[in-house]
Amino acid sequence: MTGTADRVVSRAYLLGLGHVNLLDTYLSPLSYQGGQLSYLGERSYATRIAGGKVGFQSLFQAIGCYALSPVQNGTTMGGFLVSRTGLHYRWQPSAGLRLFAGGNLNFTGGGLYNLRNGNNPAQAKLQLDVAASLAASWSFRVGKQLLALRGQVDMLLAGLMFSPNYGQSYYELFSLGHYDHNVCFIFPGNAPTFRQMLTFDVPMRRATLRLGYVSEIEQSQVNGLKNHRYSHSFMIGFVRDLHFLSRKQIPANQIFY
């Protein structure tokens, strides 16, 4: 689809449940493990760029996690909102197989809260980064069913993230307004971060069933503080393909007003 008037916009809505491993040495030197509940919304369509070979993708994630310390007497809760917006260039080397390469701009906001800590109970997460993105999709028929398998890997290239300094208190930051290297440059050397997604689409009557696996390997070491969030989630949801038509293509009696 090359024009906005008759383009197809795919929207996916997925819910996921998975495992999470959390570390933030500002809060604790121990890794916490637990469960993660997430929502993933995706919107994608072909743009007019390069004859329709460039596609737009927007992903929105809402993540909630609950994890326990190794001896299960400490609790950390986390919540994150993630927005990822990018473009992919598409190649089609053979029938059914499509390869994509591009990049995206990502924003993550949220934080962790440790229920036991005193003056260092929470850690905020604010991050803006640019990532390289590679993907492949393969469509094939099983009987009359047209199925689609897609894999995507995004790798952080560079960005900025908020972090208190090694022993800096939030009292100093927010009550006294003392800043000390709190906006940190991140790159694969100090923040090797990968986000991966594997989806399997099965068309149903009115929508397409989507099964997915999402893995996030987010980690950083800035200001002497280490943190990571490793998550693996299985997702389920559906995809709706919306075909936008121009008025000329629609019979007049089908337009209500």
Binding site for another protein (CB under 8 A): 23, 25, 28-31, 69-74, 93-97, 99, 114, 116-121, 134, 136, 138-143, 146, 149, 151-153, 155, 165-169, 171-172, 175-176, 178, 180, 192, 194, 196, 198, 215, 217, 219-221, 223-224, 226-228
Q: How far is the CB of 175 from another protein (least distance, A)?
A: 6
Q: How far is the CB of 110 from another protein (least distance, A)?
A: 18
CB atoms within 10 A of CB 153: 16
Q: How far is the CB of 27 from another protein (least distance, A)?
A: 8
For residues 244 and 8, what is the distance between their CA atoms, to the nearest angstrom? 6
Is residue 133 within 8 Å of residue 152, measured between CB atoms? yes
Is residue 159 within 8 Å of residue 191, measured between CB atoms? yes
- Which residue number, 5 or 160, has a Cβ lying nearer to another protein? 160
- Which residue number, 106 or 220, has a Cβ lying nearer to another protein? 220
For residues 46 and 10, what is the distance between their CA atoms, to the nearest angstrom? 10
Helix, coil or strand: residue 116: coil
- Which residue number, 73 or 254, has a Cβ lying nearer to another protein? 73
Q: Is 70 left (phi over 0), alpha (psi -120 to 50) or beta?
A: alpha
Q: How far is the CB of 250 from another protein (least distance, A)?
A: 29
Q: How far is the CB of 208 from another protein (least distance, A)?
A: 15
Element (H, E) at 169: none
For residues 212 and 89, what is the distance between their CA atoms, to the nearest angstrom? 22
- Residues 6+ positions from 183 with CB-CB distance below 8 Å: 160, 161, 162
**Bridge partners, 227 (sequence order):** 24, 220
- Which residue number, 142 or 252, has a Cβ lying nearer to another protein? 142
- Which residue number, 176 or 252, has a Cβ lying nearer to another protein? 176
Q: How far is the CB of 157 from another protein (least distance, A)?
A: 14
